[in-house]
Structure 1
């Protein structure tokens, strides 16, 4: 088990790297060199075999700077999906390359207007069971533009399954989406008789993707919490430094209340995210996860919006970074399901 001292060292190392403001590709190489892309990868595949607590620490620091690289899609979601499908061949072929930073992988599961895996995917795999052809469309695919491999949820004669597809192969069209958050690269991916290969046990795709999303939500929570805390600190520092009528604006009661509310929401989000990381995989943890996902999503949006209010006119300008945090907050709040969806799931988990 990682000690508190080791976690502090990990947090400091990531924070120092992010403070360098390196270009995405250079930062990606540095993350690989530090072993951070392989945190969740089992040791037999060249990784660290770490757990959700360590990933949560990394995610908090990446969230603080709104890191735009494919850490969540490749180093977290893909690795958790391969753990869920238990396909040694795919693990051997992909995980070492992820750890080394030489490949990027995206997962495609959402359809229609939902960002959750459908129980009966409209995307279908037909033809030779060993080498099927995929037809359909996937939406909101994270980091698909730069991916060298796609894992796709599709229906088949054996039931919904996981299929590996080459995004540069025939029958695959990747289209970047214009979204509110320019640092979160989402795409639509269309398949027209695209060659694919079966991954894992046929018919277990929905369960595998759901399990992967749940385990990966620990990183998303960490990102939301880290970003919310950074936005809160941004507002705090501005309120102390900006003077009006001969006084720091932080001395005005209205601004004090906004900053106090931001502190409460941001610190509560951090507590919720770290709690879920600590109990991940234990009996009944899905209820805690669902409640935290709803709360952290709303808390980040609140802090992001209030940060702009504290900054006043300058906070509404394109040049100031405040709007970027609100944009990321809006994006994160829908990425793995909406806050109302998570709260409904929580009620179902506790039997309400």
Structure 2
């Protein structure tokens, strides 16, 4: 079993990403017409090469692993950065076969892609798009990061296709503005066959997505706890810092324990993904079943323990609660993953 502690390289990577995001993430843009920060995305993907971390060097990537990608996801969760990292650098990248020319373009940040499946998809998605003579017809709803994608990867019964052709993208009002979703409609849209087995490609992508999403949820929870602890040290009521009250101490201590456990679960899943471990299926569902509720709980406690200021639009806590809530139903809910875990470890239904 690998060492799940963060390596020196991973900590240096974290410091680099955190410094960049601290200076560049501007959540006020989420209320504007273009919430996705494509300039920041280009810096992350093209200038720094973070989109290509899990891609082998011979395929145009950085030749690192999913462990390093998980560190980036933690920091993106810590800032709820509005960039299409999950859609392009995780889901689309994981779906593409090695050697495909599009993989090198995604790894280098030259292009951005999205996998055309509903964000809530987990087990055995139903293909709603058909392919005939190299053209696509059909619709897909609530696709994450599709609005900013240059290329769409569309799974069909005939295989996985890549398209830059004419298709309709309709923005969907989302609870989480930091990760926009859209409905897609294809009508005789020209496409290129990428892989003959779309099911295997989508399964690979969803596993990677569930694991990386757990790291994002960990980053959300860590920010919420750190911010709440700092507030509890300085906010005073009845001539005392509110952090000195035992009831608050207990709530924050319980949250710290849960986040510490979530970190171990998320790290194990990322390590299994990086090594191609046989325990990956279990690790991925365990990560989602555990980390998802922890992120939601941390965000709820952050809002509530900040008191009145936590309920205002001026405080960023609401963005973290929205991201945590949206993540909780993305790529399978905690309940779905718990049910799947039962089958994986031979528990009775």
Normalising by structure 1, we get a TM-score of: 0.89
- The CA deviation string for residues 102-152 of structure 1, in whole angstroms up to 9 with x for no partner, is 2111111239xx5236454232223x2xx2x22221122111111111001
The equivalent residue for 1:136 is: 138
1:199 pairs with one of 194, 202, 214: 194
> What is the DSSP-based 3-state SS (H/G/I as helix, E as strand, rest coil) of the residue aligned with 1:20?
helix
Name the CA distance, whole Å, in 2 between partners of 1:226 and 1:49.
Answer: 24
What RMSD, in angstroms, separates the aligned Cα atoms of the two structures? 1.9
The equivalent residue for 1:108 is: 116
Aligned pair in 2 of structure 1 residues 119, 179: CA closer, same or farther (>3 Å)? Answer: closer
1:1-150 map, 5 Å? 4-22=7-25, 24-31=37-44, 32-83=46-97, 86=98, 88=99, 91-92=100-101, 94-110=102-118, 114-116=120-122, 118-126=124-132, 128=133, 131=134, 133-150=135-152
The equivalent residue for 2:243 is: 250
The equivalent residue for 1:163 is: 161
The equivalent residue for 2:230 is: 237
Asked whether the 8 Å contact 2:128–2:140 carries over to 1, the reply is: no
> What is the DSSP-based 3-state SS (H/G/I as helix, E as strand, rest coil) of the residue aligned with 1:55?
helix
Deviation at 1:279, TM superposition (A): 2.2
How many residues of Structure 1 are paired with residues of Structure 2 in the alignment?
Answer: 331
Stretches of structure 2 that go unaligned for 5 or more consecutive residues are 27-36
The equivalent residue for 2:34 is: none
Normalising by structure 2, we get a TM-score of: 0.90
Name the CA distance, whole Å, in 1 between partners of 2:176 and 2:109.
Answer: 25
Asked whether the 8 Å contact 1:52–1:218 carries over to 2, the reply is: no
- The CA deviation string for residues 240-275 of structure 1, in whole angstroms up to 9 with x for no partner, is 110000000111122112211221222222121111
Stretches of structure 1 that go unaligned for 5 or more consecutive residues are none
